[in-house]
Amino acid sequence: MKTPKEKYMNDPEYHHLVSTLEQLIEQAKFTPSELREACILASINYEMRHVRDHNLPSNIRNAFRVLDEFVYKPKTQRATDGKDD
């Protein structure tokens, strides 16, 4: 398995991706943390679209439902969950 640096040096598409991300940071469009979060969310969204194509057991479908509710619940609502009024 190649290291990220090896991929950067040898794979033009990977190199372009890294360069694009660096430009977004340089232009102060996104912080490194925001880019990591966006990459993770993109991965989750992809998996959520493709994993569900299979016939999954009900407990796994329920776990995905709970994850959906958490991921797509407004942040302010998550922050107040479980607090007394």
For the question of whether the overall pTM of this predicted structure is more than 0.75, the answer is no
If asked whether residues 53 and 72 sit together in one domain, one would say yes
Its domain, for residue 21, covers: 1-30
If asked whether residues 71 and 42 sit together in one domain, one would say yes
The confidence score (pLDDT) of residue 85 equals 45
CA distances from 13 to 7, 29, 36, 37, 42 (A): 9, 22, 18, 21, 18
Residues constituting the chain: 85
pLDDT (tens digit, 0 to 9) for every residue of the chain, 85 residues total? 999 999 999 999 999 999 999 999 999 999 999 999 999 999 988 887 776 556 778 888 888 888 888 887 766 655 555 555 4
If asked whether residues 83 and 43 sit together in one domain, one would say yes
If asked whether residues 51 and 71 sit together in one domain, one would say yes
Number of structural domains (the chain) is 2
